[in-house]
């Protein structure tokens, strides 16, 4: 039917337009990062590594990168640990107030970043830990552990809960069962949670901006450059951050997919 085909074509074009809109700023920023004009427009200027060199020679950026890596790695480890504990509790146990428990665990992403930032800033200065690298880690862990919990919970969902009981019957205590059965099973979930939480922390700017004090992370440096003026350095940093985050995301994706494939193969 002509009508049906026309509608299909229209919908496809529409989806195409949406993707153009979503990816235009990402791709544009990559192109601009190699473009010689300070204020890029059409037609483009010549190809240059200038902005990357500027960034590379900027000691502030290196300091920020160091802070970002410390924060990202610490946040990933802490929030994945907490996320695993929560996911396992939810998987294994029923208890009173479980609804409230899960709400407490999953609520942070629904609070606007500015509000979290203000609340954290005030709280950290009240308890005397403001302006340190660790204050960013504590705040980021709150924001990242729900993601870790969700990813690991999905993985545990695939585990037969009789597996644990079988191990106990064979004489293993609960701790040993955790070490030899549950943890190995959850491993792909844990690895992807580590990658994704690191990526989220690596990109977060609002809370980091409020609580970091002098220990700026990369996104905070970007925020400050953007506030100053038009500076294509931002595109160079942005492209670098994008590649880092995407590497983490793709590693997470590959870990999950290889595991799925392995499990589908008959033993």
Q: Enumerate residues 135-154 that contact another protein by CB under 8 A.
A: 138-139, 141-142, 145, 149
Whether residue 146 contacts residue 83, with contact meaning beta carbons closer than 8 Å, is answered with yes
Task: List binders of another protein among 45-74 (CB under 8 A).
Answer: none
Kindly state whether residue 82 participates in binding another protein, applying the rule CB under 8 A: yes
Cα–Cα distances in Å, from 154 out to 22, 32, 84, 229, 267?
A: 28, 39, 11, 44, 23
Place of tokens 């350095």: 233
Kindly state whether residue 20 participates in binding another protein, applying the rule CB under 8 A: no
From the CB of 211, what's the least distance to another protein, in Å? Answer: 10
Cβ atoms within 10 Å of 37's Cβ, excluding its own: 13
Indicate the DSSP class of residue 108: G
**Is residue 75 packed enough to be buried (19+ CB in 10 Å), middle (13-18) or exposed (0-12)?**
buried
47 HSE (CA, 13 A, CB side): 0
From the CB of 66, what's the least distance to another protein, in Å? Answer: 18
Q: Sketch the per residue contact string, 86 through 125, with another protein: x for CB under 8 A, - otherwise.
A: x-xx-xxxxx-----x--xx-xx-xxxxxxx-xxxxxxx-
CA distance 222 to 233: 9
Task: List binders of another protein among 233-262 (CB under 8 A).
Answer: 234-235, 237-238, 241-242, 245-246, 248-249, 253
Selected binder of another protein within 57, 161, 229, 265 (CB under 8 A) = 161
From the CB of 46, what's the least distance to another protein, in Å? Answer: 17
Task: List binders of another protein among 21-40 (CB under 8 A).
Answer: 21-26, 28-29, 32, 39-40
Kindly state whether residue 228 participates in binding another protein, applying the rule CB under 8 A: no
């Amino acid at each position: 039917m002509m009508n049906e085909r026309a509608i299909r074509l229209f919908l496809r074009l529409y989806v195409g337009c949406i993707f153009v809109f979503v990816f235009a700023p990402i791709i544009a920023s990559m192109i601009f990062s190699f473009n010689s004009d300070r204020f890029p427009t059409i037609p483009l200027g010549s190809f240059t590594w200038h902005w990357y060199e500027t960034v590379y020679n900027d000691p502030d950026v290196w300091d920020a990168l160091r802070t970002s890596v410390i924060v990202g790695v610490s946040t990933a480890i802490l929030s994945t640990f907490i996320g695993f504990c929560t996911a396992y509790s939810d998987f294994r146990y029923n208890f009173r107030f479980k609804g409230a428990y899960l709400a407490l665990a999953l609520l942070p992403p629904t609070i606007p970043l500015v509000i979290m930032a203000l609340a954290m800033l005030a709280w950290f200065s009240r308890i005397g830990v403001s302006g340190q690298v660790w204050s960013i880690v504590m705040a980021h862990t709150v924001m990242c552990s729900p993601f870790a919990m969700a990813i690991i919970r999905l993985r545990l969902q695939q585990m037969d809960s009789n597996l644990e009981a079988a191990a106990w019957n064979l004489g293993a205590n609960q701790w040993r069962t955790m070490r030899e059965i549950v943890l190995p099973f959850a491993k792909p979930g844990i690895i992807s949670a580590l990658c994704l939480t690191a990526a989220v922390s690596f990109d977060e700017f609002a809370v980091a901006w409020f609580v970091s004090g002098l220990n700026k992370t990369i996104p905070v440096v970007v925020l400050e450059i953007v506030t100053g003026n038009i500076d294509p350095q931002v595109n160079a940093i942005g492209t670098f951050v994008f590649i880092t985050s995407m590497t983490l995301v793709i590693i997470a994706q590959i870990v999950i997919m290889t595991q799925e494939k392995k499990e589908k193969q008959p033993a």
